[in-house]
Amino acid sequence: MTPRHAVVTGAAGGIGQAIVQAFNEAGYAVIATDVVPQPAGLACALYLQVDLARTVQDEAYAADVFARIHARTGPDGLAALINNAAVQILGGVDSLTRADWQQTLQVNLQAPFIWTQALLPALEAAKGSVVNISSIHARLTKKNFVAYATSKAALSGMTRAMAVDLGGRVRVNAIEPAAIETEMLRAGFERQPERYAQLVACHPVGSIGTPGEAASCALWLASRHAGFLTRSCMPLDGAIGSRLYDPIGI
């Protein structure tokens, strides 16, 4: 039996590696992409070192990347496209540069659209689906996340619009995670264990998410078990998105 193909962008990060592993274990032939070289131990059918922002800026470069993907998937098409790659450039309205703003939108918003558009024939051939990894920042945010939050709000909005536009041709869903325990997140709290404990306690479930949980959501959304589900923006947030904060009772 020919394995189903899946493309995962941002495959070298904590969530990306977990998604690649989950799809591998489910029998997919995974085409993994990231701007950095292939991490040791990341098993996949094909690894492409790709500059996502450049696929937005340079049509010839993008065409070459997509040709390599189409050559791999062949007539069987593409069962899943997981738009996971993202950049998070922190800064306020008064400090973000034009380059910061452009890079954020290119990687987090424009690339998912362009990749979906370019791979649409392969997705249709396999009756496939798109899963966009958005963020809780699409709905709730905090200071200095204006570029990231804007890009993720637009990505969730685009998910809903694409689902309507594509109808029964290709399903499009998103996941909106809150804090996920990646190596990058842990490193940010390496010398501040008390702040990490506060972050955990902020979530009503008393924990933060794991990359494996995000990967499991992506796998289910892409599967035929979710065949009637499209335009969903699934919160993966430990109920923090419903918690009211005030000075009393925190």
Active site residues: 148
d(CA 149, CA 143): 10
| Terminal Cα-to-Cα distance of the chain (whole angstroms) | 54
d(CA 53, CA 140): 26
Pseudo-torsion of CA 110, 30, 38, 118, nearest 10°? -30
Residues comprising the chain, all counted: 250
d(CA 175, CA 219): 11
Taken in order 208, 17, 216, 220, is the CA torsion positive or negative? positive
d(CA 10, CA 24): 16
Region of 144 on the Ramachandran plot (φ > 0 left; ψ -120 to 50 alpha; else beta)? left
- Token look-up 């009772």 returns 249
d(CA 25, CA 13): 18
Region of 5 on the Ramachandran plot (φ > 0 left; ψ -120 to 50 alpha; else beta)? beta
Q: Under a CB-based contact definition with an 8 Å cutoff, are residues 202 and 240 in contact? A: yes
